[in-house]
Amino acid sequence: MTVQTPASLPAAASLRGRRMVVIGAGSRTGRLLAMTASAAGAELILAGPDARKLEWTAGEVTGPARVVPVDLSDEDSIAKLAAETGELDHLVSTAAMPANGPVAELELAAVRRAFDAKVVGPLLLAKHLAGRVRDGGSFTFFSGVAAWRPSPGRAVMATTNGALAFLVEALAVELAPIRVNAVSPGIVDSGSWDAMGGDKETFLRGVAERNPARRVGTSDDLVQAVLFAVANPFVTGTVLHVDGGGRLS
């Protein structure tokens, strides 16, 4: 897997000396975010379900980082993450557990995992970590374009991403002055489509031709959006659509 190098982003300057929790730090986008934040001087808590991938990310960053495995379907696991994190400045969760397929074929366990990653887990993260957030802190979660552009076989994805978009508004009000936002990716070449094999390039080319931006996204596009949400003190309760206009096409 190719890992992008961290970009030099003005928004990252606000991270020096800050403690950031990155949930999903084993994914390509989570790893790039961790690398960029670390290069900007942040202290990292790298969280997610796969300790091996988290350790890999920890070996890639330049600054201090601790690995804390977490299961967003398990409240005790989230409480442990909060205890091991202590005080923090920012939390970013890229977590997703898609449950795709026709409604008639959906398995309840998969549906529940999808809601745990996108809705229940973020609620529990707010429950256990909000009281530990320092002044100027924030939560940033990942929604997705499917909520605004549903398609057959993506009912659960559309619903969980849409629920998260409304959740960030509710949390922004209840947890104020902690800021709560979401980033909503469109079709991004972040590894999710690699299983398509030789069909991947044809698929991505077709998406790019339809998108108003005439391209697909990259992990760096998402990291820039996250850092904007983290750094801008006047942005809260907002979904940042990083989809090249895909929800409009």
pLDDT at 2: 46
pLDDT at 4: 52
What are the phi and psi torsion angles at 95 (to 5°)? Answer: -60, 140
From residue 194, alpha-carbon distances to 50, 169, 185, 203 in Å are: 20, 33, 17, 11
pLDDT at 196: 85
Domains of the chain: 14-190+222-242 (3.40.50.720)
- For residues 33 and 28, give the distance between their C-alpha atoms in angstroms, rounded to a whole number: 9
pLDDT at 58: 98
Low-confidence spans in the chain with pLDDT less than 70 = 1-13
pLDDT at 11: 62
* DSSP line for the chain: ---PPPP--GGGGGGTT-EEEEETTTSHHHHHHHHHHHHTT-EEEEEES-HHHHHHHHHH-SS-EEEEE--TT-HHHHHHHHHHH-SEEEEEE-------S-GGG--HHHHHHHHIIIIIHHHHHHHHHGGGEEEEEEEEEE--GGGTS--TT-HHHHHHHHHHHHHHHHHHHHSTTSEEEEEEE-SB-SSTTGGGGGGHHHHHHHHHHHSTTSS-B-HHHHHHHHHHHHH-TT--SEEEEESTTGGG-
pLDDT at 192: 78
